[in-house]
Amino acid sequence: MDNPVPRARGLMFVWLVGASQVLGLASVVLTAVWMGHYSGGFAWDGSRREFNVHPLCMVLGLVFLQGDAILVYRVFRNEAKRNVKLLHGIIHLLALIASIVGIVAVFDNHNAAKIQHMYSLHGWCGMGTLVLFCIQWVMGLLFFLFPVASSRLRALYLPIHVFCGLALLIMAIGTCLLGITEKLLFSIMSTYSQFPPEGVLANTLGIVLVCFGVLLGYLITKEEYRRPPNPEEESLSVHFKTLTEGRSPTTP
Q: Which residues of this protein are in contact with ligand HEM, per CB under 6 A?
A: 54-55, 58-59, 62, 103, 106-107, 110, 117-118, 120, 122-123, 126-127, 129-130, 172, 175-176, 179-180, 182-183, 186
Q: Which residues of 75-99 are buried (b: 16+ CB within 10 A; e: fewer)?
A: beeeeebeebeebbbebbeebbebb
Are the C-beta atoms of residues 72 and 219 closer than 8 Å to each other? no
Q: How far is the CB of 117 from ligand HEM (least distance, A)?
A: 3
Are the C-beta atoms of residues 206 and 56 closer than 8 Å to each other? no
Q: How far is the CB of 215 from ligand HEM (least distance, A)?
A: 18
Q: How far is the CB of 214 from ligand HEM (least distance, A)?
A: 17
Which residue lies nearer to ligand HEM by CB, 20 or 39?
39
Which residue lies nearer to ligand HEM by CB, 58 or 84?
58
Q: How far is the CB of 140 from ligand HEM (least distance, A)?
A: 18
Q: How far is the CB of 126 from ligand HEM (least distance, A)?
A: 2
Which residue lies nearer to ligand HEM by CB, 35 or 219?
35
Which residue lies nearer to ligand HEM by CB, 99 or 225?
99
Contacts of range 146-152, beta carbons closer than 8 Å, 24 or more positions apart: 151/236, 151/239, 151/240, 152/239, 152/240, 152/243, 152/244
Q: How far is the CB of 150 from ligand HEM (least distance, A)?
A: 33
Amino acid at 191: T
Question: Checking phi first, is residue 247 left (phi over 0); if not, alpha (psi -120 to 50) or beta?
Answer: beta
Q: How far is the CB of 151 from ligand HEM (least distance, A)?
A: 33
**Closest C-alpha among 98, 104, 32, 101 to residue 65:** 98
Alpha-carbon distance values, 219 to 8, 52, 67, 73, 176 (Å):
16, 31, 11, 10, 21
Which residue lies nearer to ligand HEM by CB, 15 or 186?
186
CA distance 164 to 69: 13
Which residue lies nearer to ligand HEM by CB, 156 or 177?
177
Which residue lies nearer to ligand HEM by CB, 49 or 122?
122
